[in-house]
Amino acid sequence: MRIILLLFTLITGSVAHAQLACSTQGQNRQGGVITPFISTGTPAADAVVNGGSGAGTASRYMGDGKGVITIPVVFHILYNNAGQNLDESLIRQQLVVLNTAFRKKNADTANIPEAFKSVAADCEIEFKLAVADPLRRSTNGIVRKYTSIKNWLDDDKMKFAASGGSDAWDATRYLNIWVCNLALSSGYSSFPGDAAAKDGIVLRTGLVGSKVLVHETGHWLGLKHLWGDTYCGDDQVDDTPKQSTFTPGCPTGVRPSCGGGAPGDMYMNYMDFTSDACLLMFTQGQKARMWSNFVTSGKRAGIIDSKGLTPAANDEIPLPGEENPQKPEEPVTAALKLYPNPAINRLTVDVGADDRWLGKTISIYNTNGEQVLRSIINGKQQAIDITRLLPGLYFVAGKQENGEQIRVKFIKN
Ligand SMILES: [Zn+2]
């Protein structure tokens, strides 16, 4: 990824103008294998839509019988300051950009060169914010989490609460998108078949709303860069011309490379690095490659069975004490630590990584939800006398002005 960024810097003279410096490289960095796409003239989608064991479940997501797959999305918004805690309206706008591209509803399709118009595809894939989380609790599909980390590298640490990030939701059922202050690249994605805990897309905070997510989602559905990440390489799609490397900026006219003549490079394809204003299309071949993930044995077949877009019923809401059942053994935030645990007479609440808790009141609740102690956090390590508590399970809970809550379990012996 550093090489890509360096190249980009050399060519454009600036990364500040770079709409796209995607660091996704090759395929299946985790060592998996993508089944080669074989063009049959019949979209692989038909296997899901018209027959096979997947037909029944797939139909749940078919709007008006058109065979559209709708993918439940969760955004993990990791913020170190209030400005990075993006407004929901911006996140929703980003989904409009994504859906517009994947449904070929962009107003500028007229700008697609004549030679490529016939292969430009409505990919018939849509994206919606999840309405139910993996434990069937209602959600708006946005996880917001303060992090003490100011700059992130392309090292997947944002995908784990233990390293200041946010844990993935079941990647077989959701598209996880982490938004954080990526220092070196615009974004990157896993490929189908990569490790589940790291499966998803990472996007730089300042680029939410741009077409970077369209490009990364192409990767998430198995697409490679047009140049196959090597000089005149193969992207394993038949209807994208061979291309020597990525295209910076916003060119016009025919730009042939790799010994080809007209119609030249397809630099208006979302899987190039062209500026947003000039990105216009996916191809039928790319569509078929993306859809091949959803056949019954496909690497993203689980998305078809996701209940992430089915509202949670009231009787599925967890009982008191189960509010954080996704990972009940882990604290909600890595920023607050309790020790010793179990504790006998003194419990230390350590907010060392997140000093926004200084001056805030925290409460201790028993398992009946009754408040048994309150304390104001006066230092990064606050000792609380718990001598008078009966032995048992308790929760330390607190709340920030922005609604962010913490809830951490401890045992009194
Ligand atoms: Zn890329």
pLDDT in tens, 359-401: 788 888 887 777 888 888 878 888 888 888 888 888 788 877 7
CA of 205 from ligand 1 middle (Å) equals: 17
| Catalytic choice (88, 216, 401, 404) | 216
Compute the distance from residue 7 Cα to the ligand 1 centre, in Å: 14
CA–CA separation, 259 and 282 (whole Å): 23
* The pLDDT value given to residue 290: 97
With 0-12 / 13-18 / 19 or more C-beta atoms within 10 angstroms meaning exposed / middle / buried, residue 351 is: buried
Segments in the chain below pLDDT 70:
1-20, 26-66, 314-335, 353, 402-403
| Centre of ligand 1 from the C-alpha of residue 342, in Å | 47
The pLDDT, as a whole number, for residue 51 is: 29
Q: 154 alpha carbon to ligand 1 midpoint, in Å?
A: 13
216 is catalytic: yes
**256 vs 17, 227, 229, 234, 262, CA distance in Å?**
24, 13, 18, 16, 6
Measured in Å, how far apart are the chain's first and last C-alpha atoms?
50
Q: Residue 134: what are its φ and ψ, rounded to 5°?
A: -60, -20
CA 94 to ligand 1 centroid distance, Å: 18
Domains, the chain, in order of start with CATH, read 2-315 (3.40.390.10), 337-412 (2.60.40.1930)
Confidence (pLDDT) at 33 = 30
Q: What is the pLDDT of residue 31?
A: 31
In whole angstroms, what is the distance from residue 127 CA to residue 218 CA?
Answer: 13
Instruction: Classify each residue of 165-204 as buried b or exposed e, where b means 16 or more C-beta atoms within 10 Å of its C-beta.
Output: bbbbbbbebbbbbbbbbbebbbbbbbbbbbeeebbbbbbb
Distance CA 201, CA 212 (A): 10
Predicted pLDDT of residue 28? 37
Ligand 1 centroid, distance to 413 Cα (angstroms): 53
